[in-house]
């Protein structure tokens, strides 16, 4: 029985009831939180493997697709190559000889030989007999290339020594017809022609002419300046690119031959010396042009003068083209009234290669008139007797003996002299 008269006991009972109720609610809330946690963990554990599986499957599909694509491309290319090769081979069966080989490159029995000289290939033929003189080399590059010397003395081909005729001209060649007659019928393996004209000038001749396509890349030339020496070296260098060229003759547009080709060829090829005029001129026209700034490399006693129109052996031509040191001295100090073309080569050869030079020229020039330029011969001057006098001009040293032939060429001939020269060239000059 409850004691209503005791309030303290009632409070205790109520508090005890409330405590049980709160514990029950707390237990229920704890159980709810536990179930919620288990539910979240269950969902997370079920979703993560599914996401990873989906990603792995997508990556596998992508890689498989790429592999199939690449394999397909490779198979297609290989198949296409085989098909093209098959049809090309079948087509070439009918035109094999005509397309890949010249008739001379296939033996009479039809067997294949090696393609010896294709377009753009380096061959021995490109070093012998230059068909095309055009190039884009600078002077520095050209001189370097031309000064290369084989170390083997013997040649891997039958070499016929050639005489290179180097024409230094401003423009037209008024004596062209006479020169054409000079070369007519001669062995083309024994001579070559090079023409240095002013830039922009084109030597127009028939494609049957020996002068056809014989112009070299040129630069501007000014009389009395070092540019004349540059032009001479340029001609030498271009001719040196042909290993068959043995002798080199510098000529102008006003030069003529006074002997026939066989005589000229034999005279030059069999000579043991070059023909570069070189002498000591004590006057103001010789030593007076010397610059003391050239010492000690070039002394006054070594200073020489000579005709511009030279003839030289291949050995000396290479030395001239390869020289830079002494050329630069002349370029720097031989001006304004020094005329390098009359001093550079004569001085250089005297200093280093005097034993190889005859110290005389084979080109006749008349300097009897006291003038800056030699005498010029017109139609009125040119007679049979005059030409004979040039051909029979005393005797000269030749190798270890003497020869009645001193001059092979002559200048300076006016264009008007061409007609009379053509009229008696066969009787007097032998061509």
Contact between 310 and 250 (Cβ < 8 Å): yes
**CA–CA separation, 311 and 277 (whole Å):** 9
| pLDDT for res 426 | 96
Q: Are strands 162-168 and 256-257 parallel, antiparallel or unpaired?
A: unpaired
Contact between 80 and 74 (Cβ < 8 Å): no
Contact between 330 and 297 (Cβ < 8 Å): no
Contact between 232 and 164 (Cβ < 8 Å): no
**Of the candidates 244, 213, 249, 207, which has an alpha carbon nearest to the alpha carbon of residue 126?**
244
CA distance to 32, 33, 100, 274, per residue, from 37 (Å): 9, 6, 86, 114
Residue 301 sits at φ, ψ, to 5 deg, of -70, -20
Contact between 315 and 153 (Cβ < 8 Å): no
CA distance to 129, 170, 391, per residue, from 403 (Å): 32, 34, 12
First vs last C-alpha separation in the chain = 170
**CA–CA separation, 89 and 110 (whole Å):** 18
**CA–CA separation, 394 and 316 (whole Å):** 27
**Spans of the chain, pLDDT less than 70:** 1-23, 25-29, 31-60, 73-130
Residue 245 sits at φ, ψ, to 5 deg, of -70, 120
Which domains does the chain show, CATH number per domain? 127-363 (3.90.550)
| pLDDT for res 129 | 66
**CA–CA separation, 31 and 24 (whole Å):** 10
Contact between 310 and 275 (Cβ < 8 Å): yes
Which sign, positive or negative, has the C-alpha torsion 311, 313, 315, 321?
Answer: positive
Peptide bond into 336 cis (omega under 30): yes
Beta carbons within 10 angstroms of residue 122's beta carbon:
8
Output the six-digit token pair for 151. 């170390």
**Of the candidates 270, 261, 278, 426, which has an alpha carbon nearest to the alpha carbon of residue 348?**
278
User: At 163, is the secondary structure helix, strand, or coil?
Assistant: strand
**CA–CA separation, 101 and 331 (whole Å):** 52
Output the six-digit token pair for 337. 């009234």
| pLDDT for res 84 | 52
């Amino acid at each position: 029985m409850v004691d209503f008269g005791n309030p303290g006991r009632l409070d205790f009972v109520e508090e005890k009831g409330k405590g049980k109720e709160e514990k029950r609610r707390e237990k229920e809330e704890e159980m709810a939180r536990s179930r919620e946690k288990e539910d979240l963990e269950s969902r997370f554990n079920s979703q993560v493997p599914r996401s990873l599986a989906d990603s792995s499957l997508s990556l596998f599909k992508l890689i498989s697709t790429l592999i199939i694509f690449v394999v397909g491309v490779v198979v297609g290319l290989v198949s296409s190559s085989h098909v093209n090769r098959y049809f090309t081979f079948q087509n070439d069966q009918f035109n094999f000889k005509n397309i890949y080989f010249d008739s001379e490159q296939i033996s009479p029995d039809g067997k294949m030989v090696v393609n010896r000289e294709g377009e753009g290939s380096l061959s021995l033929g490109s070093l012998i007999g230059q068909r095309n003189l055009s190039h884009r080399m600078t002077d520095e590059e050209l001189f370097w290339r031309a000064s290369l010397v084989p170390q083997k003395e013997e040649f891997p081909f039958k070499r016929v020594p050639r005489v290179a005729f180097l024409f230094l001209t401003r423009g037209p060649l008024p004596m062209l017809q006479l020169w054409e007659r000079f070369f007519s019928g001669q062995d083309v393996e024994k001579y070559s022609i090079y023409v240095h004209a002013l830039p922009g000038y084109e030597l127009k001749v028939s494609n049957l002419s020996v002068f056809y396509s014989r112009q070299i890349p040129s630069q501007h030339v000014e009389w009395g300046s070092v540019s004349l020496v540059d032009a001479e070296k340029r001609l030498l260098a271009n001719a040196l690119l042909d290993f068959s060229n043995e002798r080199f003759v510098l000529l102008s547009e006003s030069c003529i031959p006074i002997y026939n080709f066989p005589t000229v060829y034999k005279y030059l090829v069999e000579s043991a010396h070059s023909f570069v005029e070189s002498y000591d001129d004590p006057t103001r026209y010789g030593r007076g042009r010397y610059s003391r700034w050239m010492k000690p490399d070039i002394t006054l006693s070594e200073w020489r003068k000579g005709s511009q129109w030279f003839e030289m052996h291949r050995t000396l031509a290479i030395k001239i083209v390869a020289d830079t040191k002494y050329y630069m001295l002349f370029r720097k100090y031989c001006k304004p009234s020094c005329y390098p073309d009359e001093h550079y080569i004569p001085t250089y050869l005297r200093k280093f290669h005097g034993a190889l030079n005859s110290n005389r020229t084979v080109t006749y020039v008349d300097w009897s008139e006291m003038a800056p330029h030699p005498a010029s011969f017109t139609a009125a001057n040119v007679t049979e007797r005059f030409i004979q006098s040039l051909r029979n001009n005393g005797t000269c040293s030749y190798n270890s003996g003497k020869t009645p032939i001193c001059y092979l060429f002559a200048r300076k001939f006016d264009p008007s002299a061409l007609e009379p020269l053509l009229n008696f060239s066969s009787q007097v000059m032998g061509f």
